[in-house]
Structures are given as structure tokens and as C-alpha cells.
Amino acid sequence: MNHIQGIGMQSPYFSMAMLQLIGIIHSNFRDIFRKRKCMTEHNLGKWDHVMDGQGKTFTVNGLKVAMFSIDGELFAFEDECPHVGGSLGSGKLEGKLVACPAHGWQFDVTNGECVTLDRCDDGCFVETYPVKIENDEIILSLP
Ligand code: FES
């Protein structure tokens, strides 16, 4: 038995831990990369059009964006599920998780991470976008 086998590399717990680690590393690099990109702000109109707990979709420069409001805070991310492209903006929100209406994979709207690890096994995610409210209007930043 070599050292790697001794720590249980074949165990499902090790695999889950590795997937979570890969996800954390991936999201940190993604955040660093995003900060270095030039972002453009887009005014999407009055923010009260996004009802608390319900999704809304926008198309901005050909990019489909899903948006949810949780307790008055907005979260925006790409509206295309990485599985086979379901519209996440049409999904049901529970807490901070939205379920894709096509096959039920769940994503954390605050960071875009897929939490359905048994199916989305490569640390998949949806791209998130900075969004804020200024003068009662939604200001979305896109790369
Ligand atoms: S398209 Fe989203 S889970 Fe299948």
C-alpha cells in the first residue's frame, strides 16, 4: 500500500472533499480574473420589477442574465444552466439556492456554484455578475 492509498484516495469522502477544494480554488481564480476585466455598467430600469424570491431574466448585448432578489439584495448570473442550457431565471428559489427547471440541478445564487455535486461532478458553476441599486434602478456590470 502506498501513502496515497493509505489516506483513502478512493473513498467517496476524499472525492467530495477534492471537488469542494477544486470549486473553492476555481471561484477564487474566477473572482481575481473578474476584477481585472473591464466591466461595463448597464441600467436595467426600476429594481422593484424583480420580486423578492422570484427570478427575472434580462438580455443585455445578447447575453442572457438571470436575476433574483433575496431580502432586497439583488444577485445576477448567467441564465444558462451548464448542464444543457435550462433557464435558471425560471427556476424555483429556496433560500439562496435556485433549482434549474429542466433537471433540478441547484445553484447558489450568491456565488454561482453548483451544489448538486453528485451530478455536477467537475466543480461547475454559472458566471455571476456585480449588480447594485442606484436611485431605485438596477445597475448591472458585465464584462
Ligand atoms: S439543463 Fe439545468 S439541470 Fe439540466
Domain range annotation of the chain: 39-142
Predicted TM-score (pTM) of this structure: 0.74
Name the superfamily (CATH) of residues 39-142: Rieske [2Fe-2S] iron-sulphur domain (2.102.10.10)
Pocket test for ligand 1, best of 84, 92, 126 (most atoms within 8 A of CB): 84
- The alpha carbon of 2 and the centre of ligand 1 are apart by a number of angstroms equal to 40
- Residue 81 CA, closest ligand 1 atom number: 2
- Computed over every residue of the chain, the mean pLDDT equals 85
- Segment 109-124 mean pLDDT: 84
Closest approach atom of ligand 1 to CA 100:
2
Residues 96-117: what's their mean pLDDT? Answer: 95
d(CA 54, CA 139): 18
Strand locations in the chain (E): 40-46, 55-60, 63-70, 73-78, 92-94, 97-99, 106-108, 128-129, 131-134, 137-142
| pLDDT greater at residue 32 or residue 88 | 88
Residue-level pLDDT at 68: 97
Range with the largest mean pLDDT of 4-13, 90-99, 110-119: 90-99
pLDDT tens digits, 37-75:
689 999 999 988 888 889 999 999 999 999 999 998 999
Whole-number Å distance between alpha carbons of 130 and 75: 8
